Chains A and B, each alone.
Chain A
């Protein structure tokens, strides 16, 4: 797990801090070096089909992908926690209806729901993460509901009720702080999923739009140009896979710790 955290940190820090130090910006076109080979003409990883620096583009894409993933995971956390907490707290009929809705949504091809949302409301980066967050909250809702249900009848909660604490106070002061560790562990497991969904959408041209770039767009452009410049496919692809694997490791490690 330590290795995974280091990997994520190195990639994230490189994406945040390195770009200003590079000679070329991610959208700058070097007309003298179209499809340059690595280590040539001042481009460490070479350039793409219209002469943009591959290293700068990969870092910029990583940054957008990470930003979208974090934002979408937070949207999922917000909706999922609220939904799960209400269902778990009230129980009975309310719980039944709310969880049935979650079950029904689980059965849907959610990737297509996101795509439909993109088609309907136009493609913008704001909608990309709102849309992804709006479908990725289901597991979070289930987890939080389970936690709230077991917490609800624990002696300290019952005691606070007997002591006259309001529903609101019990929720914010006793239940939510106890749900938080598990919710955060699942938040970390949501992030790699969102990275995949964002890249998938951007790969298809339905996510982040030019001039912004993301790992999905880079993989797509690289695939178009792979016969001449294979690195334009392999570099962003490798970064994406490393990031997803490392994030999954971190999430699984955290979940393992919280489950104890």
Chain B
């Protein structure tokens, strides 16, 4: 277990470092500047701004300073949101995004695993086929289409839920559903396939033959190994939730990290974009690590 952890960390840390380096140099290589306004700045103002943000220093010195600050959790000042550091913006947006993503992940796992089990227990039944169709559709539907369509139906036409903005649990229902849908569909398909394979295996037949109650057979013998594909899907799912959140937060006007990221990208706010990319990369590497550790818990054969 510890060996796996160490080996994974040995690739995760250089990867993260490479992300930091790559995004730093890409941002500096970018033509145009965040200070390009509609009215051209005078040379003196420009030089003063560059000096204030340290942009006139040699590149390596800028990198060194950025890395030193990063090590202390400081992503530098935002170039567009005056008086805000990137860390402060992240601190504002991250809780909203984590709540949205976390709820969506829970909803997706409950619906997906539940649907997969229901399908695998009665293969070929009407329920199985209905769940499979729903799963195929929700995987294919992009969140930037489902988000607005859900808002149109449930907020504008039926008037059941708020259209946009953050306020109370009701305002999270549509964003969470829109975000969870593709992940739930993928999880349902993986669970269905995995479970119908393990249900046919010898150890499950033995457990049944020994007269264990069906619930115990399912829960203790058939389901854990069947969930391994779901676990290896966790890391891509996390990436999907993060990218999905960018759209969902924009569509539903939620003040999360994704919205800052899009605004930063449109405004050429380099430190903000870099900060969010580094944070996202870190989160995804963390999810990869968690998935690797879960393998061992679910399947003893993977512990070696």
Contacts and interface: CB of A to CB of B under 8 A. Distances in A.
A151 to B, nearest CB: 28
B242 A104 contact: no
Contact of B11 (A100, A110, A199, A230): A100
A116 B277 contact: yes
B242 A240 contact: no
B266 interface: yes
Nearest to B140: A245
B247 A112 contact: no
A104 B151 CA distance: 37
A219 B250 contact: no
B296 interface: no
Contact of A196 (B137, B142, B261, B284): B142
Contacts of B140: 241, 244-245, 248
A108 B284 contact: yes
A208 B164 CA distance: 26
Interface string A204-218: 111000000000100
A107 B247 CA distance: 21
A223 B235 contact: no
A233 interface: yes
Interface in B98-122: none
B26 A108 contact: no
A237 B242 CA distance: 22
A122 interface: yes
Interface string B272-293: 0100110011001100100000
Interface string A104-123: 10011111110111111110
A245 B243 CA distance: 20
User: Which secondary structure characterizes the binding site on chain A?
Assistant: helix
Interface string A70-113: 00000000000000000000000000000010011001111111
A122 B31 contact: yes
Given A103-B11, A104-B18, A115 B145 contact: no
A116 B268 CA distance: 10
Contacts of A245: 136-137, 140
Contacts of B233: none
B149 A111 contact: no
A146 B190 CA distance: 24
A204 B246 contact: yes
A204 B268 contact: no
A204 B281 contact: no
Interface residues of A, number: 41
A58 to B, nearest CB: 14
Contacts of A100: 11
B276 to A, nearest CB: 8
A100 B251 CA distance: 37
Contacts of B32: 122
Interface in B137-175: 137, 140-142, 144-145, 147-149, 151-152, 156
B166 to A, nearest CB: 18
A203 B18 CA distance: 29
A200 interface: yes
Contacts of B27: 116, 120
B92 interface: no
B284 A109 contact: yes
A228 B148 CA distance: 13
B29 interface: yes
Given A233-B149, A244-B142, A121 B280 contact: no
B247 A223 contact: no
B1 interface: no
A61 interface: no
A107 B292 CA distance: 13
Interface in A104-161: 104, 107-113, 115-122
A86 B270 CA distance: 36
19 contacts: A100-B11, A107-B285, A108-B19, A109-B243, A109-B284, A110-B239, A112-B261, A115-B273, A119-B268, A120-B27, A199-B142, A199-B144, A200-B142, A204-B265, A223-B144, A233-B148, A233-B149, A234-B149, A237-B149
Give 3 nearest A-B pairs by CB, closest first. Answer: A223-B148, A120-B30, A111-B243
